[in-house]
Amino acid sequence: MAIDLKDLLDLLDETPMEVSHPLEVEFHYLVTENHRLILEGISRMEKEELVGLDDENEIRYQQRYFDDLRIAAHVAVVTRLDHWAKRHCENLKLKPQKIKGKKSTQRKALLIQKLEMLNGKLGTAVPLIFFEDLVTARDSVIHGDSQAEWMDRNEKRKIAEKYGGWRLELTEEQLAEAVANTLKQLMWYDEQCYKLKHP
């Protein structure tokens, strides 16, 4: 049966279509879906490695290794936040000042500076402290072997209590909250930037 083009166009006009924001699509694939695939791969590798192990110390060592891999998989959300914060700053010609010192401190300070500048220009949808805690958790993975406390040159760094006791423990719920809040903040920036360009 042939479909009349006019009937098809009428149908499309009457059918509401929900189109996702490009940031939602990006986060779905680059953060959420990628994270799911990585965790599935880690679990598969863990099962294969633990088969046949009898020594409890060796089992604990292997489990700790795979737990570290899972924690490291959580850093993607901060990477996307940094990427988009940088782009918005460049578009608005906002330049954070570089801080002299060790690179880990500098990276943390630069991302937070970017967010502070963007919040000052565009407002905020999520309190800055949420992202400060998230960045510190990311730094724990990269620079502190996922420990709750570590020394960064002469500065003692510490993750927020919600992210663990003696070492970083980011739950799936916390990761989902991090993705949701990051997406909410970036979409807020996007909307406010659009309003600035189209008053």
Nearest of 139, 141, 134 to residue 177 by alpha carbon: 134
Please give the pLDDT value at position 100: 62
Tell me, what's the pLDDT at 127?
Answer: 97
User: What are the DSSP calls for 15-84, one per residue?
Assistant: S------HHHHHHIIIIIIHHHHHHHHHHHHHHHHHTT---HHHHHHHHHHHHHHHHHGGGHHHHHHHHH
* Residue 87 confidence (pLDDT) above 60: yes
Most confident of 32-36, 56-60, 127-131: 127-131
Quote the pLDDT of residue 154: 81
Q: Does the structure show a pLDDT above 80 at 105?
A: no
Ranges 80-84, 100-104, 127-131, 133-137: which has the least confidence: 100-104
According to the per-residue pLDDT averaged within each range, which of 29-43, 103-117, 168-182 is highest?
168-182
Q: Does residue 175 or residue 94 have the better pLDDT?
A: 94
Q: Which of 14-18, 77-81, 119-123, 182-186 has the lowest mean pLDDT?
A: 14-18
Closest CA to 193 of 97, 51, 46, 85: 85
Cα(57)–Cα(91) distance, rounded to whole angstroms? Answer: 53
The residue extents of the domains of the chain are 75-197
What is the per-residue pLDDT for 109?
Answer: 66
Percent of the chain with pLDDT over 90: 30
- Report pLDDT for 25: 78
How confident is the model at residue 119, as a pLDDT? 97
Read off the tokens for 75. Answer: 């850093």
Q: What is the mean pLDDT of residues 162-182?
A: 87
Q: What percent of the chain is modeled with pLDDT above 70?
A: 84
pTM, 2 dp: 0.75
